[in-house]
Amino acid sequence: MDPSKAEFKRLIDIMGWSQTEAAKRLAKTPSAINHLVNPDHPNKPTQTTLRLLKLTIARERPELFNARTFELKESAGKPDHAQLSAKERELFRRLRALPRDEQERVYAVIRTMLDNAPKAQKNRRPPPRSGSGSRNPVK
């Protein structure tokens, strides 16, 4: 497969996007995206299209890129970068659209909700005790 086609397909796969989703995000038709990933089709992604795809991904998943070189990190396609569900990506997209001070307020609310969720209560470890380890204070 042509290297530019392989890179284009790899980037789409890393994001977990369908060809239709990639088409929406890149303002192309699904057919055009199909041509760019199909190894038997002569059309190849241009450098501009690859750059647009990288910029789109970097906006949503900046941790996947080296900030200095703007190249995809080697670890990007590995399991430690678990794919987010569509709902999770939507939540992150909406959070990132908020002003920074509003984001902090929303994070605080989410943390409180998660800390008080029934399953979180069962799995939560008690906070470490301070002091000398004795439960009874010295009198």
The CA angle 118-123-128, to the nearest 5 degrees, is 120
Report the predicted TM-score, pTM, of the whole model to 2 decimal places: 0.54
What is the number of structural domains in the chain?
2
130 falls within a domain? no
Q: Are residues 61 and 93 in the same domain?
A: no
DSSP H helices in the chain: 3-15, 19-26, 30-37, 47-60, 86-97, 100-115, 118-123
47 falls within a domain? yes
pLDDT of 80? 41
pLDDT of 38? 94
Q: Are residues 15 and 69 in the same domain?
A: yes
Q: Are residues 7 and 67 in the same domain?
A: yes
Task: Please state whether 131 falls in left (phi above 0), alpha (psi between -120 and 50) or beta.
Answer: left
Give the rounded percent of residues in the chain with a pLDDT score beyond 70: 76
pLDDT in tens, 82-110: 566 667 878 888 888 889 899 999 999 99
139 falls within a domain? no
Could you give the CA distance from residue 76 to residue 12 in angstroms, rounded to a whole number?
12
131 falls within a domain? no
Whole-number average pLDDT of the chain: 80
pLDDT band at residue 79, thresholds of 50, 70 and 90? very low
45 falls within a domain? yes
